[in-house]
Amino acid sequence: MATTTAAAPNHPRNSKRGHMLGMDRRTGRFISGTEQLASRLLQVFTTPHAARGNEPSAMEQWISEYAGYYSGSQVKMNGVKIPHLFPGDKLNLQRPGNADNGMSQLEESILRYVAAGTNTEYSALSRDYSKGAYSALRASSNDNWRYVMGRRKFIAGKAASQMFGCWLEEAIMRKVITLPRSARLSFYDARHAWCYSEWIGMGRMAIDGLKEAKEAVLLIESGLSTYERELAKLGEDYEEIFAQQYREAQERKEKNLPPPSWVKAQQMAPDEQQQGNGNET
């Protein structure tokens, strides 16, 4: 746009607004000085940038020269390439102060929260038994065992009892099993009594087998527990254990083998007790 800043003959100056008017030679219309100044300033600031629009920036030039230097640096000695750094570059060997940067502590904390939320022992969940003493591991194991036994009784045991009841009912209806003649109540009159059962699941893990075996013996001898209960903790049926012990004892006697050590200890116990009483008298 071609403009002139000369005042128009008929309008030398706008006395009210106090600014000059210019005339566009191409259109012949008057334009204000402010509009003309804004147009010039816009050209001053935009034209240089528009002219350099296709030129690479300083960062792009630096990266291009950096990559070109290392791709063209082929200093070799006896066939081995010798690295040569770019001017101004240097190698700094960093030594980490913490190898995992606290990852092990974070993992342990998360596992402890998960174990507490799921009523699971932390050592069993993480498979890490290195940070616990016997008393701590035993306490956490007993706490977890109490929860497991409750779930086993009200969920697994109840479901197993219902399946056993359905099987027993069908067996009685098909005459596979016959109720004893002395039974006063039929199956449907006392279904709960006929289907009552105790279920033995997986045994409890022994942290220190010797200590827990001594504990079981003391509980049985003091009358605070029974063989049925203690063997159930190990996942065994006491009737099967007694029957197996009897068979083994008979076989050892038939083959002239000495009786087991626990049998000898029971045979010697009354004699020792009588001798002790005789010394006291």
Q: Kindly write down the DSSP assignment for every residue of 175-226, as one continuous string.
A: TSS---TT-SS-TTTTHHHHT------SPPPPSSHHHHHHHHHHHHHTTSS-
pTM above threshold 0.75:
no
Paired strand residues for 4: 23
236 three-state secondary structure: coil
CA–CA distance, 34 with 27 (Å, rounded to integer): 18
- Which comes out higher in pLDDT, residue 190 or 54? 190
* Tens of pLDDT, residues 68-118: 887 877 777 787 877 778 888 888 887 766 666 778 888 889 998 998 888
CA distance 92 to 25: 68
CA-based nearest residue to 172, from 161, 160, 187? 187
Pairing status of strand 3-4 against strand 21-24: antiparallel
Contact at 8 Å (CB) between 23 and 5? Answer: no
Q: What would the DSSP string read from start to end of the chain? A: --EE-SPPSS-S--TTT---EEEETTT--EEEHHHHHHHHHHHHHHHHHHHTTTSPPHHHHHHHHHHHHHHH---EETTEE---PPTT--------SSSSTTHHHHHHHHHHHHHHHTT--HHHHHT--TT--HHHHHHHHHHHHHHHHHHIIIIIHHHHHHHHHHHHHHHHHTTSS---TT-SS-TTTTHHHHT------SPPPPSSHHHHHHHHHHHHHTTSS-HHHHHHHTT--HHHHHHHHHHHHHHHHHTTPPPPHHHHHHHHHHHHHHHHHHHH-
Number of Cβ within a 10 Å radius of residue 137: 19
pLDDT band per the 50, 70, 90 thresholds, residue 66: confident
Does the pLDDT value for residue 8 go beyond 50? no
Q: Helices H, strands E: what count in the chain?
A: 11, 5
pLDDT the model gives residue 21:
55
pLDDT per residue over 134-181, tens digit each? 888 888 888 888 888 888 888 889 999 999 999 999 999 999 999 998
